[in-house]
């Protein structure tokens, strides 16, 4: 399978852009950050007590919502102060990790089945069926253990509910900054450093991934690309014709890097647990196919990555400053309106 074929196949998995995740056309920045993060906290806490059939979906949507929240916190990191940002980011990170094993087990199983299906026409009938069955059984056991844990779901939901109540107290008065001494100003200054940092670090992580192509380096790049994707989606209304396209490209990149990460995790698991694929010849064949698939994915990721990270961080920072200025002028709004955290 070529990089072009890999790119084409991933198209079907690209997420639709949801206006609920975007800054409103005439919305104050602080109001928009508060609205979207609270909505995501509510989503992240839902579904955990809806029964066994909904548990895996609840975990998946919870971790995705937490990543979006962490991306937006990074966007306004400078405004929140380092103390507030560090606490909120750490809380979200640790909460996501509580159910990380459940999501990883599901993702690894899906990745193995995908490899089997992609190369199925080249394989003898029944090849990798036992591996898929054992991975599915392992996934089910991990989900069941999490479901039967009397504290797990409750702890996740409690953490998210506490965060929701904290975020609900964020004041959004225009003059609150003068009273409290800190806040999210409705200004490009509020997001400039956060955008520069996310983009610049993603650019560096991409270089590191291809200079030293380890699973960990590609995973680090993937995380930065996901953060940038969620930030772009939020900022899309500042210049939709350009930013929406960038968001969609980042979504494709995230899917490709996500599959690569799942396959790297799968190879690591098979190294530690060869009993999941007890036939040594089949295990060797599977490892070779996974390695081939990862090569295809990494070539496709480089094509998209070079497109996304083509400009210098300072250039992107300036460009988005111009977009923001144009938006404010079009709205006829003052540039020094203030909203406080």
pLDDT, tens only, 268-324? 999 999 999 999 999 999 999 999 999 999 999 999 999 999 999 999 999 999 999
The pLDDT mean for the chain works out to 91
Per-residue model confidence as pLDDT tens digits over 147-182 = 999 999 999 999 999 999 999 988 776 566 667 666
Q: What is the pLDDT of residue 11?
A: 58
Q: What is the pLDDT of residue 93?
A: 98
* Helices 215-235 + 240-272 axis angle, to 10: 150
Q: What is the pLDDT of residue 333?
A: 47
The predicted model gives 26-43 an average pLDDT of 95
Per-residue model confidence as pLDDT tens digits over 185-244 = 889 999 999 999 999 999 999 999 999 999 999 999 999 999 999 999 999 999 999 999
The predicted model gives 69-95 an average pLDDT of 95
Tell me the percentage of the chain whose pLDDT exceeds 90. Answer: 80
Confidence of residue 338 (pLDDT cuts 50, 70, 90): very low
The predicted model gives 36-47 an average pLDDT of 96
The answer, yes or no, to whether residue 130 has pLDDT greater than 90, is yes
The domain ranges of the chain are 3-9+22-339
Q: What is the pLDDT of residue 45?
A: 96
Residue (of 149, 159, 202, 136) closest to 62 by Cα position? 159
β-sheet bridge partners, residue 338: 185
Q: What is the pLDDT of residue 5?
A: 54
Count CB-CB contacts under 10 A for residue 143: 20
The class level of CATH for 3-9+22-339 reads mainly alpha
Which residue would you say has higher pLDDT here, 270 or 3? Answer: 270
Q: What is the pLDDT of residue 138?
A: 98
User: HEC string of the chain?
Assistant: CCHHHHHHHHHHHCCCCCHHHCCCCCCCHHHHHHHHHHHHHHHHCCCCCCCHHHHHHHHHHHHHHHHHHHHHHHHCHHHHCHHHHHHHHHHHHHHHHHCHHHHHHHHHHHHHHHHHHHCHHHCCCCCCHHHHHHHHHHHHHHHHHHHHCCCHHHHHHHHHHHHHHHHHCCCCCCCHHHHHCCCEECCCHHHHHHHHHHHHHHHHHHHHHHHCCCHHHHHHHHHHHHHHHHHHHHHHHHCHHHHHHHHHHHHHHHHHHHHHHHHHHHHHHHHHCHHHCCCHHHHHHHHHHHHHHHHHHHHHHHHHHHHHCCCCHHHHHHHHHHHHHHHHHHHCCCCCCEECC
Q: What is the pLDDT of residue 178?
A: 66
The answer, yes or no, to whether residue 18 has pLDDT greater than 90, is no
Q: What is the pLDDT of residue 177?
A: 64
Cα 341 to Cα 176: distance, rounded to the nearest angstrom: 9
Cα 55 to Cα 72: distance, rounded to the nearest angstrom: 26
Q: What is the pLDDT of residue 2?
A: 53
Q: What is the pLDDT of residue 163?
A: 97
Q: What is the pLDDT of residue 285?
A: 96
User: What pTM value is reported for the model?
Assistant: 0.91
């Amino acid at each position: 399978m070529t990089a072009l074929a890999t790119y084409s196949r991933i198209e079907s998995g690209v997420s639709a852009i949801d206006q609920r995740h975007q800054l409103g056309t005439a919305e104050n920045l602080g109001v928009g950050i508060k609205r979207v993060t609270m909505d995501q906290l509510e989503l992240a806490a839902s579904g955990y007590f809806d029964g066994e059939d909904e548990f895996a979906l609840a975990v998946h949507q919870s971790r995705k919502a937490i990543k979006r929240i962490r991306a937006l916190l990074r966007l306004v990191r400078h405004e929140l102060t380092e103390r507030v940002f560090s606490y909120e980011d750490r809380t979200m990170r640790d909460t996501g990790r509580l159910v990380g094993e459940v999501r990883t087990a599901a993702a690894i199983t899906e990745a193995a089945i995908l490899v089997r299906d992609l190369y199925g026409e080249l394989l003898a009938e029944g090849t990798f069926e036992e591996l898929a069955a054992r991975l599915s059984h392992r996934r089910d056991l991990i989900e069941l253990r999490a479901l039967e844990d009397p504290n797990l779901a409750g702890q996740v939901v409690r953490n998210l509910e506490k965060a929701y109540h904290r975020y609900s107290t964020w004041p959004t008065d225009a003059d609150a900054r003068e009273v409290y001494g800190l806040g999210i100003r409705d200004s490009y200054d509020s997001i400039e450093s956060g955008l520069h940092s996310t983009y610049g670090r993603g650019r560096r992580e991409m270089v590191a991934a291809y200079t030293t192509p380890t699973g960990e380096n590609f995973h680090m790049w993937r995380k930065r690309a996901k953060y940038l994707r969620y930030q772009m989606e939020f900022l899309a209304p500042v210049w939709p014709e350009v930013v929406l396209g960038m968001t969609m490209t980042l979504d494709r990149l995230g899917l490709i890097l996500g599959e690569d990460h799942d396959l790297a995790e799968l190879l690591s698991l098979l190294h530690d647990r060869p009993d999941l694929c007890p036939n040594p010849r089949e295990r060797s064949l599977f490892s070779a196919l996974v390695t081939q698939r990862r090569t295809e994915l990494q070539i496709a990721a480089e094509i998209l990555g070079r497109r996304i990270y083509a400009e210098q961080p300072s250039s992107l920072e300036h460009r988005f400053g111009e977009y923001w200025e144009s938006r404010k002028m079009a709205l006829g709004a003052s540039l020094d309106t203030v909203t406080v955290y």
